[in-house]
Amino acid sequence: MKKNSNDVAHDIRILGKFISIYCEGKHPDATKSVVKGSGKIALYVDPLEVTVCNECKKLLLYAASKRILCPYNPKPACKDCTTHCYGEPYRSKIREVMRYSGIRMILKGSISYIKKFL
């Protein structure tokens, strides 16, 4: 089954939102800039206009690249996947981001993200 680019774009938008919330809360004093990708990643990341610190920028670009390359369709939740493509330290960092941002998105009323969080 062919991968749907709308699904990929949607997932990367969610990643951008999660990482942006995390960066705002955990790195409030860090110097921030708009994330720009290169190649195929730019098609998905650049339109988001996400402004984060360098550490979070690296995480977003890494996570976006892994989502673009995911061979599964439909894509399972990473925690349920048999192929763990995130290497350390990115795997533990994205878990931390999801825990921190997920609960904040739910509390702010972003009910549509509950499915991704769980």
Strand partners, 33: 52
- What is the distance between the alpha carbons of residues 62 and 15, in angstroms, rounded to a whole number? 11
pLDDT digits (tens, 9 = 90+) for 26-49: 999 999 999 999 999 999 999 999
Within a domain: residue 74?
yes
- What is the distance between the alpha carbons of residues 19 and 16, in angstroms, rounded to a whole number? 5
pLDDT less than 50: residues of the chain: 1, 117-118
**Number of domains composing the chain:** 1
Which residue blocks in 27-109 are alpha helix, DSSP H?
A: 40-45, 54-69, 90-107
- What is the distance between the alpha carbons of residues 4 and 73, in angstroms, rounded to a whole number? 8
Contact 24, 32 (CB under 8 A): no
Q: According to the model, what pLDDT value does residue 108 have?
A: 72
* Structural domain boundaries, residue 72: 5-113
Q: According to the model, what pLDDT value does residue 113 have?
A: 55
Within a domain: residue 53?
yes
Within a domain: residue 118?
no
